[in-house]
Amino acid sequence: MGKSTGFLEYERVEEVASHPLERIKNFNEFHTPLSTEERQRQAARCMDCGVPFCQSGMTIKGMTSGCPLNNLIPEWNDLVYQGNLDIAYKRLHKTSNFPEFTCRVCPGLCEKACTCSLNGEAVTTKANEMAIIEYAYDHGLADANPPKQRTGKRVAVVGSGPSGLAVADQLNRRGHSVTVYERNDKVGGLLRYGIPNMKLEKQIIDRKIHVMEQEGISFIVNANIGDNVKSAELTSKYDAVVLCCGSSNPRDIDAIGRKEAKGIYFAVDFLASTTKCLWNNNMQLVDGQYISAKDKDVVIIGGGDTGNDCVGTAIRHGCKSVTQLEMMPKAPDQRAENNPWPQWPLVCKTDYGQEEAIAKFGHDPRIYTTTVKEFKTDKSGNLKSVVLVSLESKVDKKTGRKMMVPVEGTEKEVKCQLCLIAAGFLGSEKYVVDAFKVGLDARTNVASVGKDSFATNVDKVFTAGDMHTGQSLVVKAIRSGRDCARQVDEYLMGYTNL
């Protein structure tokens, strides 16, 4: 695929990112697309390799290698190289419902498994994907294409994150009538209120939702099932109900002063408040309408993608300083011998938020093997500082599990008026689970009735995405939604052609 000698002739060229000190002045996406000619050269680097690991989606040592959607990557890379983006879009759309999302927010499992990266740099697959989908919108290829026939079956999808949207899109294509219920004021779930604008501008979501509405999908917002909408209404009104509410129960931190101190928030609440304020005020922040980091010393507990998003957002607010705590040790800068290709590379990554902190404050914001031991407040109960403590790895003698435990005598107090907890999620929110009376597994995710199944213990109620598997990636949630839709279709029709 691609030019047979392309990987030898052309070096990897990435889209140019705005300078960190420039891009922190706004909340816009900040990469400039390559020219058509350069994009074709980049696609030409796709090798005619014997085994395209990029599209495999395998699990190796508990980590995903290659695209979970099994996107036909070598095929559409070749079509981009040939300049045939019309057919490239058809091949991409065959396996991917939302390439406009994944090309922006996916960590690029395809690129990490690219054969080119074994002895060089991977093909720019994510950027090639963006070129295809944006071309498709510009040339009418991604316009609405409603199903020609309807089955008469009705399906309710609860939650409009990536898995819920994938379920809805697939079942609507099949001809079922689909209604999506969303508890927030706008559709998108995690995509809208968990991912900041600079990674995914919200008009990108609205563009796709408009197409889905034209194709016949109904969206009902401010509909909180188990609160202002009864679950019985859905189970009686629809032929199937699919729960796609995400893994939205945030993990808290147990530290002295946690309950008393004012100025501690979960990361998702912080990010969502910024997104809502920007959307309501023409991309301008308005005092009093969001959780502000302006002129504050910010401490973020959590070293993952969400923590990084908090770093970038806090800097755009105008914070005085930002510190990001990571419980685990720093990963190596290069692959270790026990982490060979095509495994996911367990290496240290400096993401956009950390780049901006380095440019703004002159140092990496991350502190490894560290957490918060105590929150301290002023006389009014407002957070004024946190006591940090170093961690070390020890083995629990009873369970044999490795644990990160505090090291006595390593405490250090630092200024902090805003603390954001980005420590992950613990499964489904209880009120939704109770409303439908569905069973849970040991990790508080909604359980299925069998292996590789999406059916719950309640008749005609199914589940998909993070609510079923636990916190994961957008691309995996989309795959889960597609697989669930196939099972729901078979349940409704007795067979499936999805």
Assign residue 196 a region (left: φ > 0; alpha: ψ between -120 and 50; beta: otherwise).
Answer: beta
* 36-44 vs 73-82: helix crossing angle, rounded to 10: 140
Write the class of the CATH domain 154-248+426-493. Answer: alpha beta
* pLDDT on residue 220: 98
- Same CATH topology for 154-248+426-493 and 264-421: the answer is yes
Q: 436: which 2 tokens? A: 């439908």
Least confident of 25-29, 242-246, 327-331, 448-452: 448-452
Residue that is written with structure tokens 């995509």 in the block: 191
**Residue 253 clears pLDDT 90, i.e. is over it:** yes
Residues facing residue 463 across a β-bridge: 243
Cβ(11)–Cβ(38) below 8 Å:
no
User: Is this structure's pTM higher than 0.75?
Assistant: yes
Is pLDDT at 260 greater than 80 in this prediction? yes
Per-residue pLDDT of 345-398, as tens digits, reads: 999 999 999 999 999 999 999 999 999 999 999 999 999 999 999 999 999 888
Condensed to tens digits (0 to 9), the pLDDT of residues 161-208 reads: 999 999 999 999 999 999 999 999 999 999 999 999 999 999 999 999
For the chain, the domains span 6-138, 154-248+426-493, 264-421
Query: Percentage of residues in the chain with pLDDT exceeding 70?
Result: 100
pLDDT of res. 374:
98
| Residues 11 and 82 sit within 8 Å (Cβ to Cβ) | no
Q: Is residue 53 pLDDT above 80, yes or no?
A: yes
Residue 1's pLDDT band (cuts 50, 70, 90): low
Distance CA 223, CA 150 (A): 26
Residue 50: band (very low, low, confident or very high) from pLDDT cuts 50, 70, 90: confident
Average pLDDT over residues 317-333: 97
What does the pLDDT read at residue 175? 98
- The topology under which CATH files domain 6-138 is Fumarate Reductase Iron-sulfur Protein; Chain B, domain 2 (1.10.1060)
pLDDT at 4: 87
Please give the pLDDT value at position 176. 98
**CATH entry 3.50.50.60 includes domain 264-421:** yes
Q: What's residue 437's pLDDT?
A: 96
- Averaged confidence pLDDT in the chain: 96
